[in-house]
Amino acid sequence: MLDILKGLDWTAALAALGATFLLQWILQPVATRLKLFDYPRGRRDHAAPTPVTGGLAMGVGVIFVGLLLSPIRGDGFAGFALAACVLLVVGLLDDRYDIRWYWRILAQVTAALIMIYVGGVRVQQLGPVFGLSEMSLGALSVPFTVFATVGLINAINMVDGADGLAGMLVWAALLMLSAAALYAGNELIAERMMILMGAVAAFLAYNLRFPWRPRAKLFMGDAGSAFLGLVIAWFSFRLTQNPGHPVNPVLTLWFVPIPMMDALVLIIRRLRNRQSPFNGDRNHMHHLMLEAGFGPTQAALALTAFTLLCGLTVGQAMRMDVPHPALLGAFVLMCVGWYLLSGRRERAVSFFRRVRAVVHLPFPRRGGGHPEKP
């Protein structure tokens, strides 16, 4: 593995890190001029108006590096860049004017269709999920891919409610996807994901809280969460639908367990209560953790550690030939367990208080989070 890592080209990843870091600094006066700020109000309890240009910086940085330095040129990159631009533009409009939810969904569907028809990325086989050699979706391939892409985008948006959380979870997912790509012998996709890891790392330098900086300096905004949702969908589908270097789709579920589980449970609960699934609230997992005494950085670290543990455990289980349907069933059971536990808010908060009592994490509690828009 060390030999493989040494053989990878790190130039584009470092360039994406540098470009994104620089763009975040350059875009600060742009945020002021265009009023691209997240203001404390209602359920948004951060301390001061905060720029939301982190997503734009990541997107532009990745596209810039892709055009100039990276091997992703000419291999569906035009589709990725075009889909990303659609989401970034609509996301920035949403961050500025708080547009209606159906315009966001329309943009997400459009981006998914661009990914399919311009980028050539779609879900065609689900056989490995159920332990079968073949199970072609056929005519259902396009609607399934669109549904899955929109779902992932909104899952990342919904988990973007505490400083550093969405960025760390996406970075951890990209790390594990890269490891899976290397294990499957697909070094090219691993190098491509490293570009995104560089951009997200630069964003986290502005978004995480540190002992010397009590609050985030920058948010990713809806433009950023949509962009990162597209990134996870794009690389998950490219990796699991590659016949030459196959990775089981079940594994990718365990690389993003927190966003998927949190989104699924809340959407089901909102529908059962006859509420719109796009209604914002403070019932997300990270909000319950904050109420239980976790600080934003503590919550981000704990959930990222859980994500890495899930990915490592399931990856080893696959190496030990544990049946893939059993791993899918375990994910469903975990979602059911969280649905039951979070059915009563005080019970979930009490659970996280007990977890906090036995897990010692750095960074004291300071402030709260910022939930997704309704």
The confidence score (pLDDT) of residue 358 equals 85
In a domain, 137, yes or no: yes
In a domain, 309, yes or no: yes
Residues of the chain with pLDDT under 50: 374
- What are the pLDDT digits (tens) for 53-93? 999 999 999 999 988 865 555 578 889 999 999 999 999 99
In a domain, 2, yes or no: no
Q: How many CA atoms lie within 13 A of 332 on its CB side?
A: 8
Which one, of 194, 165, 160, lies nearest residue 179 by Cα? 194
Using CB atoms within 10 Å of the CB of residue 154, give its burial: 0 to 12 exposed, 13 to 18 middle, 19+ buried.
Answer: buried
pTM of the complete model beyond 0.85? yes
On whether 157 is known to bind a ligand per the annotation, the reply is: yes
Structure tokens at 294: 């976790």
In a domain, 12, yes or no: no
Q: Domain range holding 40?
A: 18-358
Number of domains in the chain: 1
The confidence score (pLDDT) of residue 369 equals 55
On whether 222 is known to bind a ligand per the annotation, the reply is: yes
Which phi and psi (to 5°) does residue 365 adopt?
Answer: -70, 130
In a domain, 270, yes or no: yes
In a domain, 363, yes or no: no
In a domain, 4, yes or no: no
| Cα(294)–Cα(117) distance, integer angstroms | 44
Contact 45, 216 (CB under 8 A): no
In a domain, 366, yes or no: no
The confidence score (pLDDT) of residue 374 equals 47
